[in-house]
A and B are shown apart, each in its own frame.
Chain A
Amino acid sequence: MSGPPLAWYLILSAVLFALGVAGFLFRKSIITIFMSIELMLNAVNLSFVAFSYQLKQVNGHVFAFFVMVVAAAEAAVGLAIIVTVFKNRETLNVDEVDSMKY
Chain B
Amino acid sequence: MKLNPPDAYWKKDAVLFFSKRFALLIKMLYPMALIVPVAVSAIPAQYAAAVIGIVAVMAGTFGAGESLTADLNDGILVRVALTPLSPQRIVFEILAVNAILDFIQLLPALLLVYLLHPAPLVWILAATFGVFATLVTANCIGIFIANFTSSPADVLLYATAILAPLIYVSGFFRNQNPTGISATLRDFVPFAYMNDSLKEVFGLTTGAVPFDVFVYPVIIAAVLAFGVCLTGPRLLSPRF
Do A and B assemble together? no
Residues of B within 8 A of A (CB): none
